[in-house]
Structure 1
Amino acid sequence: MTMFTRREIARAAGILAVGAALPWSDRVVAASAAPPAPDPLAMVAPELREAARQILAIGKQMPPMSANTLPSVRASMARYEKPRLPDVPVKQHRIPVAGAPDVSVYVVNAQPGVIRPAILHAHGGGYVTGWAALKVPALQRLAKDLDCVVVSVDYRLAPETTYKGSIEDNYAGLKWMHAHARELGIDPHRIAIMGESAGGGHAALLAIAARDRGEVPVVFQALVYPMLDDRTGSSRTVPPHVGQIGWTAQSNRFGWQSFLGQQPGGPNVPAAAVPARTVDLSGLPPAFIGVGSIDLFVDEDIEYARRLIDAGVATELLVVPGAFHGFDSVADSSLAIQFNAAKRNALRRAFDTTGQAPTRR
C-alpha cells in the first residue's frame, strides 16, 4: 500500500486547487446578494476531510484564472511531477497529426515480441492545463499491475487549440498505437481508452470518434470522473454542496469556454465537442464511469451512464459517497483504494474478454 506524507498531500492538493481557483473572469457577485454558503466540508467523507481542508486553503491563495494568469499556473504545475519507476520503461515519440503539428506520446511498458493489451490515455487538466508527463509515474504503476502497454498523448491545450485540434491529437495517438502494435507488443484487438477529468471527456470523445470513423477497434472506455457536459455550472445549476472542492462551476465555465471557443451552455454549442450532447451513443465500447458523490460532474456522469445503458452499452457506474473531484490522487484512503481497484478490475475484465493471455510472438 502506498502511503502519502502530509507534504505529498499538499502538493497534490495544489494541483486540484488550480481548478478550485478558476473563477469566471467576468463574474462579480455582491456578498450581500448571495445566500449563506454551505460548509464545503459537511458532505466530505471523514477520511478525506484533511485533504479537502488543504485543497480549500490552497485554493484561497491562488489568483483568479484568466488568459493572463494561465501561463504561470501551467508553469507552477511542474513542481508536482513525481519520479518515474526505474523498472518500467518509458519512451517518448513524436507522431504525425493530419493537417497539424506532430504531437508527443509517451509509451509506457512496451515490450516488443509480446502480445499484450494496451490503453490509450488522455490526461486531465480542465482542457486548459496539465501534460502527459505528469501522469507517467501513475501510468507506470497501472501498466505494471495490469501487464499492459499504455500510450499517453500530450494533446494540445485550450484556449490555444479548441476541441477540433485536441480531438485529432488523441485520435492520431490511437491510430499510431494500432498501426505500430507489433513493434510495441500490443494486441490490436485489445485496446482500451482511459482518462481522468478532462481526459475522461477526451476519452469519451475518442470512443465516439473511433466508432464513427471505423478505423480502430476499441474494446473499453474507462472514464474517471469525466468532464462530459458544458452545461454543468453554466445553463444548468448544481446543488450547493456539489462541486465545492477540487473543481468548481466557475472553473468549469472557464475550461469549457476555452475548449469550445465560445460560451458554454448555449443552444449553438457543437455536439462534436461535448460527449453529453452526442445524440446517438449506441455502438460504443463498454464503459466504466467512476465519480464522487460531491464531485461537480456527478450528475452528468450518472446521466451519461444511464444513456449508455439505454443505448445498449454495457456500463459500470461507481459513485463514491463523500468523495470530491480528484480525491483518489490526494489521500491514501480506503475509498481511493477501493475506487482504483474497481477501475483496474474493470480493465482486467475488458482485456480478458478475448480469452487471451500475454504471449510471445
Structure 2
Amino acid sequence: MIDPEIASAVDFSRPPLTLEGIPARRAANRIVTDAELTRGGAVTFTEEDADGVPVLVLRPTGSEGPSVLHVHGGGMVAGTRRSDLHVLAEWVSELGVTLVSPEYRLAPEHPHPAPVRDCYRTLEWMDRNGFGSPVVAGTSAGGGLAAAVALMARDLGGPAIRGQLLMCPMLDDRCETPSSHQFLDGTTWVRSSNLTGWTALLGEARGGPDVSPHAAPARATDLSGLPPTYVDVGSVDVFRDEAVGYASRIWQAGGDAELHVWPGGCHGFDQLAPDALVSRRARATRIAWLRRVLG
C-alpha cells in the first residue's frame, strides 16, 4: 500500500514505458535550471569533459570537499547529468561534497557496455584529477550503474571507492523476483516499464545466461571486497526484492551494508513527494550515512 502522503502528491496516470515511447519520455524530462543548481549561491558548478564523457561538477562555493560520483536515473533510456536535482544540489550544500555527474550514453542507441563504460571512465578521470576516493551513488538505473562501477573497480583493480550508495537500484535484468511480478500497475515504475528498460540495454540477451554483472549487478556470484554500502528502496517498488537481496548477499560475503525499506514508498517517492514524512526521513538517513562514510 502506498503511503497516503505520497498517494495524494503523485500522479500515477503516466502510462508504462515502451520502446516506442522512449523519445516522448525523454522530451518530458524536467529541465533543471542554473538557478536551481546554485541554490542561492551556495553551490558553484562547471561543465567539463571527462575523457569524452560530459560531466557536471558541483562544488560548495569557496571550498572543495570529499567527492561523490553520482549517476542519474532514467531506466537506462532517459535523463541527463542535471537529473536528480534533489541529490545534486542538496548533497553539495548540506554536506560540502564535490559532486560529479556524468552524461552517460543512453540505450537503446547505446546498449551495454556503453553506459557503464562512460561511468567507469568518469571514475578514472576523477582519480587522475585529484578528486580523491569518491562515494559512488545513483538512483534507479543510476543505482544499478553505480553498483556496476563498484564491481568493475574491484574486478579490474581500478580506483579506490570509499562507499556505494544505491537508491532504489535497478540491478537484475531477469525480473523474476516476487516484487517484479507484484507491481503490474498502479505505481510509478511497473513490470512492463522495467522489461522495456532492460531490453533497451541488453536486447535479446536480457534474461539469458550470458549477461555480465557489469550490466546487471545482481548477476554477480561474488559480492565480497566491495566498499561500505547503503541500499534503500520503497516497499511498493518493483525493485524491492532485488535491492534487499543485494544487501543480504553483501552481508553473506562478509561485507558492510546498511539497508532501508521505506514503508509505503513507490519508485522515486522522495523525488515525487519530497515533503512527505517518509521522503524526508529517507533523505536525512542517506545524508547521515554519507556524513559518516565521508568522515
For the criterion TM > 0.5, the same-fold answer is yes
- State how far apart, in whole Å, the 2-side matches of 1:242 and 1:344 are: 32
Structure-2 change in CA distance of 1:220 and 1:48 (3 Å): same
The within-5 A match list for 1:161-176 is 161-176=110-125
Are 1:128 and 2:77 matched, yes or no?
yes
Q: Which runs of 4+ in 1 moved over 4 A?
A: none
Residue 210 of structure 1: aligned partner: 153
The within-5 A match list for 1:69-84 is 69-77=21-29, 79-82=30-33, 83-84=36-37
| Secondary structure, counterpart of 2:46 in structure 1 | strand
- State how far apart, in whole Å, the 2-side matches of 1:342 and 1:163 are: 32
Instruction: Give the aligned CA root-mean-square deviation in angstroms.
Output: 2.1
| Secondary structure, counterpart of 2:281 in structure 1 | helix
Given residue 267 of structure 2, which amino acid in structure 1 is its aligned partner?
H
Structure-2 change in CA distance of 1:253 and 1:305 (3 Å): same
- State how far apart, in whole Å, the 1-side matches of 2:180 and 2:66 are: 38
Matched-pair contact (CA < 8 Å) for 1:242–1:294:
no
Instruction: After TM superposition, give the deviation of residue 262 of structure 1 in Å.
Output: 2.2
Are 1:311 and 2:247 matched, yes or no?
no
Q: Which of these residues, 170, 182, 194, is aligned with residue 240 of structure 1?
A: 182
Instruction: After TM superposition, give the deviation of residue 74 of structure 1 in Å.
Output: 1.0
Matched-pair contact (CA < 8 Å) for 1:242–1:295:
no
Percent identity of paired positions between Structure 1 and Structure 2: 37
| Secondary structure, counterpart of 1:258 in structure 2 | helix
Residue 66 of structure 1: aligned partner: 19
- State how far apart, in whole Å, the 1-side matches of 2:264 and 2:90 are: 26
- State how far apart, in whole Å, the 1-side matches of 2:58 and 2:185 are: 33
Residue 31 of structure 1: aligned partner: none
- State how far apart, in whole Å, the 2-side matches of 1:115 and 1:154 are: 22
Residue 94 of structure 1: aligned partner: 49
- State how far apart, in whole Å, the 2-side matches of 1:290 and 1:140 are: 20
- State how far apart, in whole Å, the 1-side matches of 2:142 and 2:218 are: 15
- State how far apart, in whole Å, the 1-side matches of 2:183 and 2:119 are: 34
Q: Deviations over 1:185-223 (max 9, x none)?
A: x4x14x100000000000000000111222311010000
Q: Deviations over 1:230-282 (max 9, x none)?
A: 1125x877453577411111011110011113242222333331100011111
Residue 46 of structure 1: aligned partner: 4
Are 1:179 and 2:128 matched, yes or no?
yes
Matched-pair contact (CA < 8 Å) for 1:159–1:258:
yes
Q: Which of these residues, 323, 334, 342, is aligned with residue 277 of structure 2?
A: 334
Are 1:272 and 2:230 matched, yes or no?
no
Structure-2 change in CA distance of 1:280 and 1:161 (3 Å): same
Given residue 45 of structure 2, which amino acid in structure 1 is its aligned partner?
V
Matched-pair contact (CA < 8 Å) for 1:200–1:224:
yes
- State how far apart, in whole Å, the 1-side matches of 2:183 and 2:128 are: 46
- State how far apart, in whole Å, the 1-side matches of 2:120 and 2:19 are: 29
| Secondary structure, counterpart of 1:160 in structure 2 | coil
**Range with greater deviation from structure 2 (240-249 or 340-349):** 240-249
Instruction: After TM superposition, give the deviation of residue 168 of structure 1 in Å.
Output: 1.2
- State how far apart, in whole Å, the 1-side matches of 2:96 and 2:179 are: 42
- State how far apart, in whole Å, the 2-side matches of 1:130 and 1:241 are: 23
Q: Deviations over 1:53-97 (max 9, x none)?
A: x2x22x15x7x6224x322321221x453532241111001221x
Q: Deviations over 1:82-125 (max 9, x none)?
A: 532241111001221xxxxx11000001678x663110010000
Structure 1 unmatched runs, 5+: 1-42, 97-101, 353-361
Structure-2 change in CA distance of 1:178 and 1:86 (3 Å): farther
- State how far apart, in whole Å, the 2-side matches of 1:237 and 1:310 are: 22
Structure-2 change in CA distance of 1:335 and 1:226 (3 Å): same
Residue 105 of structure 1: aligned partner: 55
| Secondary structure, counterpart of 2:236 in structure 1 | coil
Residue 33 of structure 1: aligned partner: none
Structure 2 unmatched runs, 5+: none
Instruction: After TM superposition, give the deviation of residue 303 of structure 1 in Å.
Output: 0.4
Given residue 127 of structure 1, which amino acid in structure 2 is its aligned partner?
M
- State how far apart, in whole Å, the 1-side matches of 2:197 and 2:182 are: 20
- State how far apart, in whole Å, the 1-side matches of 2:179 and 2:100 are: 36
Structure-2 change in CA distance of 1:149 and 1:243 (3 Å): farther
